[in-house]
């Protein structure tokens, strides 16, 4: 699975699990940290943890990938680092405070959803 495939699948899964404001940002041209960031918001700390747990299990099942996980005890921001794809799952307050969407605005937003039928 390519890093783009992993980023898109992660975004789709998070969206299916009712995450809000799911974005995929291509950063490989502007940073050596990763190829893609996936940003998502949970509606509560419990939802944030649930999203992280289920995404980790889903990706492990499909691809065998095991991420490094940070922030699990913070209750507001969990990071799953798959190497070339880094998934950030926030509470609304943490997402607004850290504002990674703005910090990585030089990256390219990736369309991960199917285009709407016309």
In a domain, 31, yes or no: yes
DSSP H or E stretch at residue 78: strand 77-81
Residue 112 lies in a domain: no
**Is 116 part of a structural domain of the chain?**
no
Flag whether 82 is in a domain. yes
Give domain status of residue 20, yes or no: yes
| Predicted confidence pLDDT, tens digits, the chain (118 residues) | 899 999 999 999 999 999 999 999 999 999 999 999 999 999 999 999 999 999 999 988 777 778 999 998 888 999 999 999 999 999 999 999 999 999 999 999 999 986 555 5
Secondary structure of residue 2 in the 3-state scheme: coil
Look at strands 36-42 and 68-70 and give their pairing: unpaired
Give the Å distances, CA to CA, from 116 to 38, 103, 113. Answer: 21, 28, 8
Number of structural domains the chain divides into:
1
pLDDT tens profile 70-81: 998 888 999 999
pTM of the shown model: 0.92
- Is residue 100 assigned to a domain? yes
> Using alpha carbons only, what angle is made at residue 21 by residues 24 and 110, rounded to the nearest 5 degrees?
20
CATH, residue 9: 3.30.460.10
Q: Which domain holds residue 26?
A: 3-106
């Amino acid at each position: 699975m390519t890093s783009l495939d992993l980023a898109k699948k992660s975004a789709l899964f998070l969206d299916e699990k009712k995450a809000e404001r799911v974005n995929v940002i291509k950063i490989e041209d502007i940073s050596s940290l990763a190829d893609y960031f996936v940003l998502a918001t949970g509606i509560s700390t419990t939802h944030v943890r649930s999203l992280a747990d289920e995404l980790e299990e889903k990706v492990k099942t499909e691809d065998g990938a095991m991420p490094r996980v940070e922030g699990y005890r913070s209750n507001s921001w969990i990071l799953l680092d798959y190497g070339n794809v880094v998934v950030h799952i926030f509470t609304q307050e943490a997402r607004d405070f850290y504002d990674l969407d703005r910090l990585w605005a030089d990256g390219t937003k990736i369309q991960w959803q199917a285009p709407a039928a016309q």
